[in-house]
Structure formats: C-alpha cells, structure tokens
Amino acid sequence: MTDPLSLTGSAVGIISLGLSLCKTIVRYAQDVQGQSDDMKYLATKASNIRILLKSLRELIEETENDLPDVAVDLESKALGLQLYLDRLKGPIEKYERTQAAARGMRSRARNAWETAIYHFKKEELFEVRDCLQSMEMDLNTALNV
C-alpha cells in the first residue's frame, strides 16, 4: 500500500507544477497580447485552472485529517494530472528558451519583434488548448464529486 504522506507530497508537487505551468501560459499570452482570440482563450483557461488547482490543494488540506479517504481520492485525482502537465512542459520550455534568448539580444527592436510573434506553432497552441480543456474538465469533476 502507498504511504499516505508520499502520496500527499506527490499530489502537492503536481499541483505546484500545474500552478507554475499555468502561470507561464498566462504570462506568454500576455506577452503576445492582441495577437488573437486564441491567446486570450489560453490565458483565461490557464487562469481558471490555477483557481481550480488552488481549490483542490485547499480541499486536500481540509480533508486529510477528518476525511482521509476523501483526501486520498482527491490526491489520486491530482496525480492523474501528471499526464497533462507532461504534455504542457514541451511547448512551455520552448517558449521559455525563446524568451531567454530574446532577453539576451541587444536591440530593443529585436526584443519587441520576439515578443510580438507567436513562439508556439499553431499545432502547439491547439495541443495546449486541448490539454487545458481536459485538465479543467478533470479538475471540475474532482471538485464536484
């Protein structure tokens, strides 16, 4: 049987990673603000997921002493988010590398140009969008059961 403390630690780690990745998505969408409705949608979706992840973390903390079975179930739902987070890491790491390179440029015009273009290919945007939609559905299900 799995140690409840290690399960809790893993769930909290996954929730923290999700919060961090969604924060990066929001920042990216703000960097290319005005580019398209797709970017506004990603920012809104990532912001909503951050709220849901915080709610899940709070609910786990509130139930772990009084309702340990509920807490374990919520933790397992949090662990199930790992698949989505793994899918999000690639495009987000690519964005972060591009941003780091843009900051290293000397020309302000070059920085403005880098910020103004899409760092994700359209297919990557759709993958991020689909992943965020699935995460949001799973989180809503976990929180409403």
Q: What mean pLDDT is predicted for residues 71-88?
A: 93
Number of domains in the chain: 1
Alpha helices in 1-145 (DSSP H): 4-31, 37-63, 68-79, 82-104, 108-116, 122-144
- Whole-angstrom distance, CA of residue 101 vs CA of residue 44: 27
Burial-class residue 37 by CB neighbours within 10 Å (0-12, 13-18, 19+): exposed
Domain that holds residue 105: 4-144
Instruction: Please give the structure tokens belonging to residue 29.
Output: 């969408």
CA distance 142 to 59: 10
Q: Answer whether residue 138 shows pLDDT above 80.
A: yes
The per-residue pLDDT for range 21-59, each reduced to its tens digit, is: 999 999 888 877 666 787 888 899 999 999 999 999 999
Model confidence, pTM: 0.78
81-131 pLDDT, tens per residue? 999 999 998 888 877 776 666 556 545 555 555 555 555 567 777 888 999
